[in-house]
Structure 1
Amino acid sequence: MSSLRAKIQDVFNEPACEQNRGKDAKARKEGCSKPLTPGAAAGGCAFDGAKIVLQPITDVAHLIHAPLACEGNSWDNRGAASSGPTLWRTSFTTDLTELDVVMGRGERKLFKAIREIKEAYGPPAIFVYPTCVTALIGDDIEAVCKRAAEKFGLPVVPVNAPGFVGSKNLGNKLAGEALLEHVIGTVEPDDAGPYDINILGEFNLSGEFWLVKPLLDRLGIRVRACIPGDARYFDIACAHRARAAMMVCSTALINLARKMEQRWDIPFFEGSFYGITDTSEALRQISQLLVKKGADPEILGRTEALIAEEEAIAWKKLTAYRPRLEGKRVLLNTGGVKSWSVVHALMEIGIEIVGTSVKKSTVEDKERIKQILKDDNHIFEQMAPRELYAMLSEHKADIMLSGGRTQFIALKAKTPWLDINQERQHPYAGYDGMVELVRQIDLAIHNPIWLQVREPAPWDCQPAVREELPRTKSETATLHAVQKFAGTTADDFGEC
């Protein structure tokens, strides 16, 4: 537990984070997580964050040392995609019971589970995750993993991020620490070259990275490791031989990028593959870093030629959407890298941004937004559901882009909504992804269903009552009773 405490303290004191550098010593010890409000949902825990970062490593067996519910609540929590292995889609857990805890059988059960996975599946590695229960009862996960690795002849990696130690973001960083300590640098590749790069913080949601990798292939740039999207254990183990790196989500793995630069001299930059301009700029910066590390400068010319060709194709495809979407107002309720990269992407085609959240965004992210929007009034840290609903119901936005948790606010306000977070079904990265994002926005805004749902409901709009035949006393009494019960009279109903 003391080693875990030291790792957490090291993550809190992150020198690569500008926001962290601006704090005093006492504030740095508290980290970046806000204190929890009693009775409020805390969001993901550290275990959840570690699982998010490591589960997309597709050929690894991910073993949860905990009661069953811990794995059941975290399995498949992101829409990452794999181009090959499917072992990561199989849930493994030691399924501890109260009797196991009382009798102290946790470590023995964990060792047995590792052996069973080795014999049944033969993975290149097994990642072991303790959770709150097994951390509190004192199971020595690192000792069991070390013994199992010696016994079975394969890497068994302890991912020491039990849920109670902090937030999901802290778990992201602790997962990066596990890769640094136990995986990266453990294998020496025999094919290292001057055009090898790492992509960090890219999760390949809905196969997004597959829209970007062909561009790099055309430039002769090899992705040594994409961490974690569609990754393989061997690729990550060899990641220390890359010449440069691109950081996509700095809030998750900035510590990994910084320490890889310190240990193996791998320079990195933070960029985005969302939007035409940002995709082009990311390709330029990758090429420039490679040239600084010794690659042939001719790659710079090839990069510019590729950018010119792909931008021309993308803008030609977007021409049809510009007159339909120009001037449309979008509300972004997301965070992180999407808080600025998607803003820039949408403004390129004339869409107006009426607001964007900066929840989970770094100081650098917020500065980029200010430079793009030129107005702080459109930036909000967090907007309550009631305020979101008021904004949408007053028609201050034509569509909201957010995650699944706020979709029902938009639907209640009878406003189009598009999922842009990890549960989305369409890839939005790269040039083709930008065209797809605009196409989905166009489909959502111009869907004819919105004209129908905004019409008055049939029970709010009934035809006038026409008396063609005289009523009997019984019929009149019944009508009066119904009107009295409803609090209306026949005069209240008219034509729509």
Structure 2
Amino acid sequence: MSSLRAKIQDVFNEPACEQNRGKDVKARKKGCSKPLTPGAAAGGCAFDGAKIVLQPITDVAHLIHAPLACEGNSWDNRGAASSGPTLWRTSFTTDLSELDVVMGQSERKLFKAIREIQEAYGPPAIFVYATCVTALIGDDIEAVCKRAAEKFGLPVVPVNAPGFVGSKNLGNKLAGEALLEHVIGTVEPDDAGRYDINILGEFNLSGEFWLVKPLLDRLGIRVRACIPGDARYLDIACAHRARAAMMVCSTALINLARKMEQRWDIPFFEGSFYGITDTSEALRQISQLLVKKGADPEILGRTEALIAEEEAIAWKKLAAYRPRLEGKRVLLNTGGVKSWSVVHALMEIGIEIVGTSVKKSTVEDKERIKQILKDDNHMFEQMAPRELYAMLSEHKADIMLSGGRTQFIALKAKTPWLDINQERQHPYAGYDGMVELVRQIDLAIHNPIWRQVLEPAPWDCQPAVRDELPSTKSETPTLHVVQEFAGTTADDFGEC
């Protein structure tokens, strides 16, 4: 537990974070995480954050050392995709019971589970996750993993991020620490080249990275490791021989990027693959970093030629949507890198941003938003569901882009909604992804269902009868009403 405490303090003291550097020593030790809500489900704890970062490593067996509910609540909560191995889709848990805890059998059960996975699946590595229960009872998963690695002859990586230590974001960083300590640098590649890069903080949601990788392939740039999207264990183990790195989500893995630069001299920058301009700028910066590290400067010219070609194709496709979407108002209720990168992407085609959430954004993210929107009046830290509903029901936005948690607010307000978070079904990265994003927004806004649901219901349409209906207090009005309506026509009724 003392080693875990030291790791947490080290993560809180992040020199690469502008906000962290501005704090005094006492405030820095508290970190950036808000206190957890007791009883909060998946999506808020450190264990969930660690699993989000590591589970997309597709050929690894992920073993959760916990009661069954921990794995049940966290499994498959992100839409990462794999181009090959499917082992990561199999749930492994030690399924601890009260008897295991009382009788002190949990460590023995963990060792047995590692052996069973090794014999049945033969993975290149096994990741073992500590949880609240196993950390509280004092299980030494690092010792068990070390013994199992020696016994079975494969890497067994302890991920010491029990849920109670902090938020999901802290768990992201603790997962990066586990990779640094036990995985990266453990294998020396025999094919290292001058055009090798790492992509950090890219999760390949809905296969987004597959829209970007062909662009890098055309430039002769090899992705040594994409961490964690569609990753392989061996690729990550060799990631220390890359020449440069791009950080996609700094809130998750900034500590990993900084320490890899310190240990192996791998320079990095933070960029985005959302939007035409940001995708082009990311390709430029990758090429420039590689040239600084010894690559042939001719790659700069090839990069500009590729950008010009791809931008022309993308703008030609987007031209058909501009008349239909120009001036439409979008409310963006997300966070992190999407809080500024998607804003920039949408404004490129004439869409107006009426508000964007910065709940999970860094100081740098907020500064980018200010530069893009020219002010901070459209930024909100957190908007209560009641306020979101009021804004949408008053038609201050034509569509809301958010995650699944707030979709029903938009639907209740009878406003178009599009999923932009990890559960989304369509990839939005790169040039083709930008076209797909605009296409989905167009489909959502112009869906004829919204015109229908905004019309009054048929039972709310009151007929306008020429003569006053008789009183309903007597027993004969029913007959009188029938006689009254017998000679009417359609012209005698009012409209809704």
TM-score using structure 1 length? 0.95
CA contact 2:465–2:492 (8 Å) conserved in 1? no
Question: Which secondary structure does the structure 1 equivalent of 2:471 belong to?
Answer: coil
Write the distance in 1 (CA, Å) between the matches of 2:54 and 2:112. 22
Residues 456 and 113 of structure 1: is their aligned pair in 2 closer, same or farther, counting only changes over 3 Å?
Answer: same
Structure 2 stretches of 5 or more lacking a match?
A: none
TM-superposition CA deviations, 1:129-156 (whole Å, max 9, x none): 0100000000110000000000000000
Distance 1:99 1:486, change over 3 A: farther
C-alpha displacement of 1:175: 0.1
Residue 460 of structure 1: how far off its partner (Å) = 1.2
Q: Distance in 1 between matches of 2:124 and 2:334?
A: 36
1:170–1:492 CA distance, 2 compared to 1 (3 A): farther
The 8 Å contact of residues 126 and 156 in structure 1, kept in 2 or not, is answered as yes
Alpha-carbon deviations, 1:75-118, whole Å to 9, x = none? 01100000000000000000000000000000000000000000
Q: Is the aligned partner of 1:64 residue 2:64?
A: yes
C-alpha distance 472-34 of structure 1, shift in aligned 2 (>3 A): closer
Q: In structure 2, do the counterparts of structure 1 residues 41 and 123 end up closer, same or farther at CA, with 3 Å as the change threshold?
A: closer
Deviation at 1:229, TM superposition (A): 0.1
Q: Confirm or deny: 8 A CA contact 2:107 2:140 kept in the other structure.
A: yes
Give the drift of 1:44.
1.5
Tell me if the contact between 2:333 and 2:357 (Cα under 8 Å) persists in the aligned partners.
yes
Counterparts in 2 of 1:472 and 1:323: CA distance versus 1, 3 Å: closer
Deviation at 1:38, TM superposition (A): 6.7
What CA distance in whole angstroms lies between the structure 2 residues aligned with 1:311 and 1:475?
Answer: 77
- SS of corresponding position for 2:199: strand
Q: Measure, in 2, the Cα distance between the counterparts of 1:258 and 1:176.
A: 11
**Contact map agreement 1:8 1:174 (CA 8 A) in 2:** yes
Task: Tell me: CA distance 1:472–1:52, structure 2 relative to 1, closer, same or farther (3 Å).
Answer: closer
CA shift in 2, pair 1:492/1:83, >3 Å: same
- Once the two structures are TM-superposed, the CA of residue 392 in structure 1 deviates from its matched residue by 0.6
- d(CA) in 2 for partners of 1:480, 1:372: 68
Residues 333, 402 of structure 2: 8 Å contact kept? yes
Asked if 2 retains the 8 angstrom alpha-carbon contact of 1:399 and 1:417, the reply is yes
Q: Aligned partners of 1:443, 1:364: CA distance in 2, in Å?
A: 33
Number of aligned residues: 496
Q: Which residue of 1 aligns with 2:333?
A: 333
Residues 192 and 40 of structure 1: CA distance in aligned 2, closer, same or farther (over 3 Å): closer
Q: Is the 8 A contact 2:196 2:244 kept in 1?
A: yes
- Compared CA separation, residues 285 and 260, structure 1 to 2 (3 A): same
Q: Is the 8 A contact 1:68 1:95 kept in 2?
A: yes
Structure 1 Cα separation of the partners of residues 263 and 35 of structure 2: 34
The C-alpha deviation readout for 1:230-284, integer Å capped at 9, x for no partner, is 0000000000000000000000000000000000000000000000000000000
CA drift at 1:35: 2.9
Shift of 1:459: 1.7
Aligned to 2:474: 474
Distance, in Å, in 1 between the alignment partners of 2:38 and 2:120 is 45
Counterparts of 1:201 and 1:186 in 2: how far apart (Å)? 21
CA 1:472/1:156 → structure 2, altered by over 3 Å: closer, same or farther?
Answer: closer
Distance 2:483 2:238 in 1: 79
The secondary structure found in structure 1 opposite 2:8 is helix
**Is residue 43–residue 49 contact of structure 2 (8 Å, CA) maintained in 1?**
no
Moved more, 467-476 or 390-399: 467-476
Q: Distance in 2 between matches of 1:15 and 1:481?
A: 81
Question: Taking structure 1 as reference, are residues 158 and 484 closer, same or farther at Cα in structure 2, changes over 3 Å only?
Answer: farther
Give the percent of matched residue pairs that are identical in Structure 1 and Structure 2. 96
Shift of 1:34: 1.7
Q: Kindly tell me: are residues 473 and 426 of structure 1, through their superposed partners in 2, closer, same or farther at Cα, counting changes over 3 Å?
A: closer
CA contact (8 A) 1:36 1:42 kept: no
Counterparts of 1:171-182 in structure 2 under 5 Å?
Answer: 171-182=171-182
Cα distance change of structure 1 residues 162 and 36 upon mapping to structure 2, 3 Å threshold? closer
Flag the 1:486–1:54 CA change in 2: closer, same or farther, 3 A. Answer: farther
In structure 1, distance between residues paired with 2:42 and 2:59: 31
Deviation at 1:469, TM superposition (A): 12
The alpha-carbon deviation at position 72 of structure 1 amounts to 0.3
1:470 and 1:285, CA in 2 relative to 1: closer, same or farther beyond 3 A? closer
Hey, what does 1:349 align to over in structure 2? Answer: 349
Q: Is the 8 A contact 2:332 2:402 kept in 1?
A: yes
Conservation of the 8 A alpha-carbon contact between 1:65 and 1:128: yes
Change (3 A) 1:403 1:487: farther
The answer to whether the Cα contact below 8 Å between 2:204 and 2:229 also exists between their aligned partners in 1 is yes
What SS does structure 2 have at the residue aligned with 1:84? coil
Distance in 2 between residues matched to 1:489 and 1:136, nearest whole Å: 78
Please report how far the alpha carbon of residue 462 of structure 1 lies from its aligned counterpart in structure 2 after TM superposition: 3.3
Indicate if the aligned counterparts of 2:34 and 2:167 stay in contact, CA closer than 8 A.
Answer: no
CA positional deviation for 1:375: 1.5
Alpha-carbon separation, structure 2, partners of 1:484 and 1:22: 80
Structure 1 residues 55, 469: closer, same or farther in 2, change over 3 A?
A: closer
**For residues 468 and 52 of structure 1, do their structure 2 counterparts lie closer, same or farther at Cα, with a shift above 3 Å needed?**
same
State whether residues 13 and 20 of structure 1, in contact with CA within 8 Å, keep that contact through their aligned partners in structure 2.
yes
- SS of the aligned residue for 1:34 comes to coil
Distance in 2 (CA, whole Å) between partners of 1:453 and 1:183 is: 54
8 Å CA contact 2:184–2:238 kept in 1: the answer is: yes
For residue 463 of structure 1, report the CA deviation from its aligned partner: 2.5
Distance across 1 between alignment mates of 2:62 and 2:89: 9
Question: 2: distance between equivalents of 1:46 and 1:40?
Answer: 12
Alpha-carbon shift at residue 457 of structure 1 (Å): 1.1
1:28-177 matches, cutoff 5 A: 28-36=28-36, 43-177=43-177
Q: Quick check: 2:44–2:167 contact (8 Å CA) kept in 1?
A: yes
The question of whether the paired residues in 1 share the 8 Å contact of 2:330 and 2:399 is answered with: yes
SS in 2 for 1:376: coil
Distance 1:20 1:490, change over 3 A: same
> CA–CA distance in 1 between the matches of 2:174 and 2:282?
27
Root-mean-square deviation (Å)? 3.5
Distance 1:367 1:469, change over 3 A: closer
Output one character per residue of 1:380-413: Cα deviation in whole Å (capped at 9) or x when no partner. Answer: 1111111111111111100000000000111111
Aligned pairs for 1:197-208 (under 5 A) are 197-208=197-208
Aligned partners of 1:374, 1:170: CA distance in 2, in Å? 32
Change in 2 beyond 3 A, CA 1:485/1:183: farther
Change (3 A) 1:477 1:139: same
Q: Which moves more between the two structures, 50-59 or 486-495?
A: 486-495
Paired with 2:414 and 2:470, the residues of 1 have a C-alpha distance of 43
Change (3 A) 1:290 1:492: same
3-state secondary structure, aligned to 2:173: helix
Paired residue secondary structure (1:475): coil
Structure 1: segments with no counterpart, 5+ residues = none
1:455 aligned residue? 455
For residue 458 of structure 1, report the CA deviation from its aligned partner.
Answer: 1.5
Per mean C-alpha deviation after superposition, the further-off stretch among 37-46 and 273-282 is 37-46
- Hey, what's the Cα distance between the residues in 2 that align with 1:480 and 1:338? 65
Distance 1:302 1:23, change over 3 A: same
Going from structure 1 to structure 2, the CA distance change for 1:189 and 1:20 (only over 3 Å counts) comes to same
Q: Is the 8 A contact 1:483 1:489 kept in 2?
A: no
Q: Deviations over 1:13-70 (max 9, x none)?
A: 0000000000000000000012346788795100000000000000000000000000
TM-score by length of 2: 0.95
SS in 2 for 1:200: strand
Find the aligned partners of 1:366 and 1:59 in 2 and give their Cα distance.
36
State the shift of 1:476 in Å: 3.4
The alpha carbon displacement at 1:210 in A equals 0.1
